[in-house]
């Protein structure tokens, strides 16, 4: 410690590489953790926590052309008749809603917002997918059955068409069809680089009138409250009903696709795992640079203290004593750099969390990693200088200038 304190500036510059390296690893780790939390929250908001989807193709992630062709060939298209069958046979236990999507322009007076996701759904979709309406309300089953032209819009549509007025009760048009805004959905943010707030929910009965009957639709479902069914139980009930309707043979694959929140989270985790495997080792290269700096400074320190080494050996110090002295100095220096890097990374993550509004948490794993890695860097970097000091002969060391 006396040696480190005696050369404050040199010690700090020596530690700088370790500080930056550890801070980079901690900050990148916090960003990945934050991204995972944000993706999970976005998935829960956009999909629903206990929701599943059934469709001809309900895959998450990328498919090859062959995989897509196989699914189109093997899986049945789901139509309104199939939805009616599910509601008739299992509707007492499970809530169902059709789900159709079409990008289109939405107009209000002379203003237009392009490529809004027009979503044709039933009134049950609000409960099925945990949709939160922050202004007004969601349309009800009576409005759906009566084919009333009502809509619930996303925040992007509000910001573009109604920046200075209350949107509830306002009129918007899609392909000449006039809709009354009855609700505004909460802000969801972006997913996969696309905004989830550029949306407009309308009754499926009205959607079919505008865009025609579906060639194939997706069906969202969720166990009804009070039934005691889990998501897995409910999914099994729906699968059995559809397998029966499509006359699937025992042991054969389902002639349709299903998608659950767990499948989406597993896909997200696989992507983040790949990012971790690539980004963190690349970031850790700076620790190698820091280790080289520590080694060079320790070699300088050994050279400066040659007489001290000779004197200690002349008074009976063993090789192990000399080696331990310089190893401890190297490890102590690197550990201090690790702690300072950890503090810097955590402080930066906290500031970014406040600025960006995304939770960047420093997990205990990265705290332990910062301390252990920096200590190992110090031990490895100090091994050669310490070994060189330990091999010195006392007489030669005492005669050095």
pLDDT tens, position by position, for the chain (401 residues)?
Answer: 777 777 777 777 777 878 887 888 788 878 877 777 766 666 666 566 688 999 988 875 566 778 788 888 899 999 999 999 999 999 999 999 999 999 999 999 899 999 999 999 999 999 898 888 999 999 999 999 999 999 999 999 999 999 989 999 999 999 999 999 999 999 887 666 577 889 999 999 999 999 998 888 999 999 998 888 998 899 999 999 999 999 989 888 899 998 887 776 776 677 777 777 777 677 667 777 777 777 777 777 777 777 777 777 788 878 788 788 778 877 887 788 888 888 888 888 888 888 876 677 777 777 777 777 777 777 777 777 778 777 777 776 666 65
Rg of the chain on CA atoms, in Å? 32
In this prediction, residue 54 carries a pLDDT of 92
In this prediction, residue 152 carries a pLDDT of 96
DSSP state of 55: E
Structure tokens at 357: 């509004």
- Residues whose CB falls within 8 Å of the CB of residue 306, separated by 6 or more in sequence, listed in order: 392, 397, 400
Q: Give the chain's end-to-end CA distance (angstroms, integer).
A: 24
Contact 330, 386 (CB under 8 A): yes
In this prediction, residue 215 carries a pLDDT of 84
265-271 long-range contacts (CB < 8 A, ≥24 apart) are 265/40, 265/43, 267/60, 267/61, 268/36, 268/39, 268/40, 268/43, 269/36
What does pTM read for this prediction?
0.67
| Residue 139 φ/ψ region, left for φ over 0, alpha for ψ in the -120 to 50 degree band, beta for the rest | beta
Q: How many other C-beta atoms can be found within 10 angstroms of the C-beta atom of residue 53?
A: 22
In this prediction, residue 102 carries a pLDDT of 93
- Residues whose CB falls within 8 Å of the CB of residue 27, separated by 6 or more in sequence, listed in order: 345, 348, 349, 360
In this prediction, residue 401 carries a pLDDT of 56
In this prediction, residue 140 carries a pLDDT of 94
């Amino acid at each position: 410690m006396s040696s480190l304190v005696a050369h404050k500036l040199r010690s700090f510059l020596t530690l700088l590489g370790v500080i930056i390296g550890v801070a980079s690893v901690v900050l990148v780790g916090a960003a990945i953790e934050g991204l995972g939390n944000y993706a999970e929250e976005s998935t829960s908001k956009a999909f629903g926590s206990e929701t599943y989807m059934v469709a001809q193709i309900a895959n998450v992630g990328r498919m090859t052309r062959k995989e897509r062709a196989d699914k189109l060939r093997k899986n049945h298209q789901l139509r309104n008749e199939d939805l009616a069958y599910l509601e008739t046979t299992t509707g007492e236990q499970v809530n169902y809603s059709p789900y159709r999507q079409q990008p289109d322009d939405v107009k209000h007076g002379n203003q237009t917002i392009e490529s809004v996701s027009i979503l044709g759904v039933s009134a049950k979709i609000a409960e099925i997918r945990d949709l939160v309406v922050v202004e007004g309300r969601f349309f009800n089953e009576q409005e759906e059955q009566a084919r009333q032209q009502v809509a619930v819009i996303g925040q992007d549509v509000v910001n573009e068409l109604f920046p200075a007025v209350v949107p509830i009760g306002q009129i918007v048009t899609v392909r000449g069809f006039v809709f009354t805004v009855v609700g505004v959905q909460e802000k969801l943010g972006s997913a996969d680089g696309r905004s989830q707030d550029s949306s407009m929910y309308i009754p499926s009965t009205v959607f079919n009138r505008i865009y025609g009957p579906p060639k194939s639709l997706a069906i969202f479902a969720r166990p009804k409250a009070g039934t005691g069914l889990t998501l897995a139980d409910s999914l099994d009930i729906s699968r059995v009903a559809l397998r029966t309707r499509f006359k699937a043979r025992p042991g054969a694959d389902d002639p349709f696709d299903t998608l659950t929140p767990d499948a989406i989270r597993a896909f997200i985790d696989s992507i983040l795992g790949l990012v971790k495997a690539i980004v963190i080792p690349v970031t850790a290269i700076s620790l190698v640079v820091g280790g080289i700096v520590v080694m060079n400074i320790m070699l300088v320190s050994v050279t400066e203290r040659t007489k001290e080494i000779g004197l200690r050996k002349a008074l009976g110090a063993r090789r192990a004593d000399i080696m331990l002295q310089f190893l401890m100095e190297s490890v102590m220096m690197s550990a201090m750099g690790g702690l300072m890097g950890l503090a810097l990374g955590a402080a930066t993550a906290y500031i970014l969390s406040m600025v960006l509004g995304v939770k960047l948490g420093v997990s205990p794993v990265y705290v332990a990693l910062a301390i252990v890695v920096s200590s190992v860097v110090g031990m490895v970097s100090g091994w050669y200088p310490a070994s060189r000091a330990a091999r010195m002969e006392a007489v030669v060391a005492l005669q050095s200038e």
